[in-house]
Amino acid sequence: MDIHQTAFAGSYPSEAQCPTDGKPEYAFIGRSNVGKSSLINMLTGRKNIAHTSRTPGKTQLINYFLADGQWYLVDLPGYGYARISKRKRQEWRRMIEGYLQKRQALQCAFILVDANIPPQQIDLDFMNWLGESRIPFVIVYTKTDRLKPQDLEKNIDAIRQALLQFWNELPQQFITSSNKNMGREEILKFIGEVNEQYFNMQEP
């Protein structure tokens, strides 16, 4: 599958205000500065549809992008950003959790994890919460072009081993690099397969 046309469809402060057309949705989320905007731009084939910034915390609403008029790519605020007030962090947490728990059109959450650093407790906690909440998700390792292959493999294995302390089996995982367009085909193929199942279930 490929994306031929992407359009910004709106920003929303809560799940209750998001689109109601029933199109399948795929949410992208990770720690601030994990490379989320760059990944979204890579997937859509657009350089600036999601605004990248050296300053984390720029995404503050639930941002919708309509792909080929058929499905939504949803950009959620990053978690773990410290340079905002405690009250704002709590508001973001309620917004994110409300979306993930209540959104019936959500097919899968893509959890972005920086492959360059050791396992982060905040990532492990968030994925464990998703599992406990029965929210389907996959893991996307980002920025994988910055390490030598052996160091990358070592880091990713450490993350997997940290997760296996809580999980018997890990969800599907994707290795990506926005700079090298790595992982794009695999992620879009996955979304295409889920979309096909979704649309088949909608047929009378």
* CA atoms lying within 13 Å on the CB side of residue 63: 20
Q: Which domains does the chain have, with CATH numbers?
A: 6-202 (3.40.50.300)
* pLDDT digits (tens), the chain, 204 positions: 999 999 999 999 999 999 999 999 999 999 988 999 999 999 999 887 776 544 444 567 899 999 999 999 999 988 876 566 777 778 878 899 999 999 999 999 999 999 999 899 999 999 999 999 999 999 999 999 988 989 999 999 999 999 999 999 999 999 999 999 999 999 999 999 999 999 998 876
pTM: 0.92
What number of other Cβ atoms are within 10 A of residue 57's Cβ? 18
Burial of 178 (0-12, 13-18, 19+ CB in 10 A): buried
